[in-house]
Structure 1
């Protein structure tokens, strides 16, 4: 089969590009039910005329249908997407990048979805879908799953009811709130995960960033001690990776702390720790939440982040990421990470 595909590529080199183009259109329609032609053209970076021509072909093949409220994929279209998934993944070069990152950073697995989640909503949905699949694959009955906040982590919840079988999972907020949209805070996301996966949740209603006095007081509270014990027993951690400057801004960090972050050239952030380009933790905030040292006890870590602008942050984290880490990212971030690695060498 592989020899046949290689021969086809040599005889019809344009076949690979055309297949990937139509696959991308079909996948976007699957993830964006009711999408219109103009919006679809913008997402796939094509003219409306070109998009219309391709859509006519997909419709003629019975892969999509056009309704009053937009387009949607058919059952046959879903079958075609699943059948071609591995082939398109390899032809697009994503498979090779996955293996390169796994080998370089000694990670358990790397999963790269097409697109750039910063500019393409379907890419963020794909990241969420793959994370949900990994949670189903790696989790066991009555596992404790700690989750952080952020829009990329929140996107996972939409796919849990489809991919997670009932396992009595306990979802725990891995950190407090950081003054952002409530729906993007770890507490809300842990509850949403529990609802979608038919599990239970434990929340942590504290600010993410505490003064020294408040921190020393809070960690003595029985409910906080109970949460810290839960973190020690956590089986799976699902977390994001943030840009250092952006996270400092979201935390409303004071000028002194921002100066420290800038002076020490931090580029990435996770769990309240700030990392420089070499992957060294150069600063940390006082926070009641899961700590780096507790990660080694977890059976699996799902690091979920995407977007080209996050590449430096993701790369800095990968340089010290535990080996049980599964990285789920997108094409935009992966290509930029690869380029940064080349520049370092």
Structure 2
């Protein structure tokens, strides 16, 4: 709820927190004078005077020669606000807990289960776009983006705001995948560029190639130049897949599928199939960004949700640099932290 308010009215949370702190101190220590309260809160008397005036005009506090006190209305509002702020703090605690378990610096968790609820997938994408807007500086930036259904949804939630005061170049972080055109990285990069007023550059190469073809393609001038741009991106944006599902989408043969099952592969990203320990058990010869290049990229954002992807997320996070930012949902977080039981 608070994140929605902040999106509609930027700066609201800062004001809300300040006025909550004022009400909190007044209800604990009132009647209290303005000078003592300003010292308590480490605010200037001028700043406090303006805030007190707002609260008094709203009928939340009274002032007298003895000091300031909360009215009955003020106390009622304070207790409701306390619950709201507590929910926000609890959410942050859960996100910090998940980040610690996964060994990364940042996690953002949205409500719901993207396996079952389209609204949760939409929210996952919307929050990802919000995150991009928060972490990207003004000026020039290159964004390397993978393909897939989740990235398609992120592209659908892009807005003109992302391009405001920015000069953005979107590049596919992998070649084509022989799947629906709409979810290929080239098309997603193009769509993101169109919505944000940025530019896009295509990578005209298949993702999965035979080993003998791989080195030849890497010497093609246009492919080579595009891959250099990808390697120097400011942000890479991708999703995490279930290993068997992704193997089938890539058209791997039955023998390889059987091998992946025997080696307990649970996750796939960047053409790498990993087991629950984060060990790479199979790797494709592919054209595109490699996981070994992630540590040198300033912003790494992984987006994946749903209970069925919990094992994949947990395994893949063992392979990423610590500065990776995961955007996931409540169902995946519950499964990773608490075996699927509701978080407390």
TM-score w.r.t. the length of structure 1 is: 0.71
How many angstroms does 1:341 deviate by?
Answer: 10
Report the secondary structure of 1:223's partner residue.
helix
How many angstroms does 1:96 deviate by?
Answer: 3.1
Please name the residue that 1:130 is paired with: 127
- Could you tell me which of 98, 115, 131 is aligned with 2:95? 98
How many angstroms does 1:304 deviate by?
Answer: 0.3
Please name the residue that 1:238 is paired with: 237
How many angstroms does 1:134 deviate by?
Answer: 1.0
Q: Is the CA contact 2:205–2:223 (under 8 Å) kept in the aligned structure 1?
A: no
Q: Aligned in 2, Cα 1:254/1:296: closer, same or farther, shift over 3 Å?
A: same
How many angstroms does 1:105 deviate by?
Answer: 2.9
- Summarize deviations over 1:240-288 as a string: whole Å, max 9, x none: 0000000001001012322332222110011101110011122110100
Distance 1:88 1:208 in 2: 47
Please name the residue that 2:309 is paired with: 310
Structure 1 gap segments, 5+ residues each: 6-82
Aligned length: 264
- Summarize deviations over 1:12-58 as a string: whole Å, max 9, x none: xxxxxxxxxxxxxxxxxxxxxxxxxxxxxxxxxxxxxxxxxxxxxxx
1:197 is aligned to 2:196: yes
Distance 1:279 1:129 in 2: 29
1:214 is aligned to 2:213: yes
Report the secondary structure of 2:101's partner residue.
helix
Report the secondary structure of 1:107's partner residue.
coil
Distance 1:265 1:283 in 2: 11
Q: Is the CA contact 1:234–1:297 (under 8 Å) kept in the aligned structure 2?
A: no
Alpha carbon RMSD of aligned pairs, Å? 2.6
Please name the residue that 2:150 is paired with: 152
How many angstroms does 1:222 deviate by?
Answer: 0.9
Q: Is the CA contact 2:103–2:317 (under 8 Å) kept in the aligned structure 1?
A: no
Q: Is the CA contact 1:304–1:329 (under 8 Å) kept in the aligned structure 2?
A: yes
Please name the residue that 1:333 is paired with: 332
Please name the residue that 2:105 is paired with: 108
1:169 is aligned to 2:188: no
Q: Aligned in 2, Cα 1:223/1:162: closer, same or farther, shift over 3 Å?
A: closer
Find the structure with the greater CA-based Rg.
2
